[in-house]
Amino acid sequence: MKILVINCGSSSLKYQVLDMNGEILLAKGLVERIGMDGSVITHEKIGMDKVRNETPMESHKEAIQLVLDAIIDPEHGVVKDMSEIGAVGHRVVHAGEKYASSVLIDDDVIQALEECVELAPLHNPPNLLGIAACQELMPNTPMVGVFDTAFHQTMPPESYIYAIPYEYYQKHKIRRYGFHGTSHKYVSQRAADIMNCNLDDLKIITCHLGNGASVSAIKRGVCIDTSMGFTPLEGLVMGTRCGDIDPAIVTYIREKEHLDQGVANEILNTKSGVLGISGVSSDFRDLEEAAEEGNERAQLAIKVFAHKVRFYIGAYIAEMNGVDAIVFTAGVGENDIAMRDIICNDLGNLGIKLDLVKNKTRGKEAIISRDDSRVKIILIPTDEELMIARDTLEIVKGLNK
Ligand code: AMP
C-alpha cells in the first residue's frame, strides 16, 4: 500500500509518499509560505532532481491540491492516480489525554483534537486544517491521526502530575504531556533492532536533541518519563526555549522589565535557550564556531546545554534502576560530535563509555560506545514520517479485516 504522510504547520507543509511494501520512500516535499507572498512547493521524486514551483496558494487546501498534483505528475509523480494512495497519515501535535495511540480520523476524533487547540494553539489548528483539506480533496481515502503526545500517555501519575493545586489538573488539564513522542518511539524500536534484543527487555534513554529537545525514559518499550511537560517549553535547554527554570523567575522578570504576558512568553520561547545565553545563535554550528574563537558565552551555552542533558540522563537511570542504551537523535544528536562527547564524558562509573573514534559518525545509524561499555550508546537518525506511515498502515489494515 502507498501512504501519504502530511505534517502541516501554520504556513508550511511537509509531505512524503511511502510504498509500505518494503517501506520505500518514493517522494517527499515541502510547501512554504502558504497564504503569503512567494509561496512555493519543492517536490522530489526520489532518484530525480528536486522541482521547485513558485505559485500563489491562499489556503492549506490549495497547498494540498498542489501536493496531490505533484504526486500524480506524469514526470515527477509516483502514482498514476490518487486511488493508488491507500491512506493518509497526519501528524498532529496534541491529543491531550484522549489518545494513547494513533487513530482513524472521524468526526469524534476531529472534535477531540479541536478541544486540544487550547493546549497547543500554535500547532493543532494547522494540523486540523491539513486534515480538513485532505478530507475534502480525497473523500474516500482513510485518514489516520498520529499524535506527538500519544507515546507519553503511559507515564505514571507521579511523572505527569505537577505539585500545584490538584483542581487545576481536573479543571484545566494542566499536567505533563510530553512531545516528540513519534521520534522517541521510533528510535527506541530501532535501538532494540540494532542491539538484536527484544524491546520488552530493555531500559532505554532517548535523547532527541534538535532545535526543540527532549529526553525520554523508556522501560520495556513504554515511556515512563519525558522532559517536556504541559508545553514543549519544559525540560532541556533548547535552541531558543529556556527549558526548566524556577517559575518565580517569570513573575520577577515581568515586574522588573515591565513585560506583559505575551512578551514574557515570547522571550521564554524564542529568545532564550542557547541563543539567550550566548547572544550568538540558536544553531549549534554557529555556537561551536564562536566557542572555538574564544566567545565565552557561546562556550557557556554549550556547557549549560550538555549539563542539562546529563542531568536528565542521570535522573532517568535512577528512575529505571539502570539503563541498557542511550540513543542520540535529531539535528544535534545525529550530527554534533563534540556535543555527544561532552554529554557522555566521564560517565564510566555508570557503565557509559563513548568510543571517540566511532563517535566521529554523523547522520547514520551506528553504535558509538566502546566495546567494554556496559551501556550501548547509539546514534539513530529519526524518521517520524516512517513511524506515521507504519501506524497508518496498521490501522488501515485493521479496517480491511
Ligand atoms: P532539528 O530541529 O532536528 O532539525 O535540529 C536542528 C539543530 O541541529 C540546529 O540547532 C543545528 O545547528 C543542529 N545541527 C545540524 N547539523 C549540525 C552539525 N553538523 N553540528 C552541530 N549541530 C548541527
CB of residue 77 inside a 6 A radius of ligand 1 = no
Residue 263 has pLDDT above 90, yes or no: yes
Q: Is 358 helix (H, G, I), strand (E, B) or coil?
A: helix
Q: CA-CA distances (angstroms) from residue 137 to 62, 84, 132, 391?
A: 10, 14, 9, 22
In angstroms, the Cα distances linking 117 to 81, 120, 127, 160, 254 are 34, 5, 10, 20, 26
363 has pLDDT over 80: yes
Find the mean pLDDT for residues 134-152. 97
Average pLDDT for 257-277: 95
197-384 belongs to CATH 3.30.420.40: yes
Ligand 1 neighbourhood includes 239 CB (under 6 angstroms): yes
211 lines ligand 1 (CB under 6 A): yes
Query: Which of 115-124, 142-151, 361-370 is predicted with the least confidence, judged by mean pLDDT?
Result: 115-124
Span 74-91, average pLDDT: 96
Give yes or no: 148 in active site.
yes
User: Does residue 208 contact residue 329 with C-beta atoms inside 8 Å?
Assistant: yes
The reply to whether domains 2-147 and 197-384 share a CATH topology is yes
Q: What is the mean pLDDT of the chain?
A: 96
Q: What's the distance, CA 150 to chain centroid?
A: 12
Q: Is 151 annotated as a binding residue?
A: no
Q: Closest ligand 1 atom to the C-alpha of 208?
A: 3
**331 marked as binding residue:** yes
Is the pTM higher than 0.85? The answer reads yes
Determine contact, residues 28/51, Cβ cutoff 8 Å: no
Exposure of 112 in the CB half-sphere (CA atoms within 13 A)? 18
Q: Find the 339 Cα to ligand 1 centroid distance in Å.
A: 11
Q: How far is CA 89 from CA 7, 18, 149, 162, 389, in A?
A: 9, 11, 16, 33, 6
For residues 123-142, give the mean pLDDT: 95
Choosing from 332, 336, 361 the residue with most ligand 1 atoms within 8 A of its CB, the one to mutate for a pocket test is: 332
Work out the percent of the chain whose per-residue pLDDT is above 90.
97
Element (H, E) at 208: strand 203-209
Q: Please answer whether residues 152 and 145 qualify as being in contact, where contact means their C-beta atoms are separated by less than 8 angstroms.
A: no
Quick check: 120 pLDDT over 70?
yes
DSSP conformational letter for 25: E
221 annotated as a binding-site residue = no
175 CA to middle of ligand 1, Å?
Answer: 29
The three three-digit cell numbers of residue 246, written as one number: 524556577
Nearest CA to ligand 1 atom 19: 335
Q: Confidence band (pLDDT; 50, 70, 90) for 50? A: very high
- The Cα–Cα gap between 246 and 213 comes to 19
Cβ-contact 77, 51 below 8 angstroms: no
CA R_g for the chain: 22
240 lines ligand 1 (CB under 6 A): no
CATH 3.30.420.40 for domain 2-147: yes
- Asked if the model's pLDDT at residue 121 lies above 90, the reply is no
Which atom of ligand 1 is nearest to 286's Cα? 12
Taking CA 337 as the corner, what is the angle to CA 336 and CA 341, rounded to the nearest 5 degrees? 120
Band (119; pLDDT cuts 50, 70, 90): confident
Strands of 134-177 (E only): list them. 143-147
Nearest CA to ligand 1 atom 15: 331
- Where do the domains of the chain lie? 2-147, 197-384
Distance CA 43, CA 372 (A): 45
Task: Measure 253 CA to ligand 1 centroid, in angstroms.
Answer: 30
- Look at ligand 1, atom 17, and give the residue with the nearest C-alpha: 335
Residue 214 Cβ inside 6 Å of ligand 1? The answer reads no
The alpha carbon of 209 and the centre of ligand 1 are apart by a number of angstroms equal to: 8
Q: Say if ligand 1 is within 6 A of residue 283 CB.
A: yes
User: Is 370 flagged in the annotation as binding?
Assistant: no
Mean of pLDDT values over 287-297: 98
pLDDT at 401: 66
Residue 400: pLDDT over 80: no
Task: Using the mean position of ligand 1's atoms as its centre, give its distance from the Cα of residue 300 in Å.
Answer: 18
Q: Please, is 377 exposed, middle or buried when counting C-beta atoms within 10 Å of its C-beta (0-12, 13-18, 19+)?
A: buried
Q: What is the mean pLDDT of residues 335-343?
A: 98
For residue range 297-311, list pLDDT tens digits in order.
999 999 999 999 999
Bridge partners (DSSP) listed for residue 204 = 218, 325
Arithmetic mean of pLDDT, 133-151: 96
Nearest atom within ligand 1 for CA of residue 287: 12
Choosing from 106, 107, 148, 193, which is the catalytic residue? Answer: 148
Query: Is 363 known as a binding-site position?
Result: no
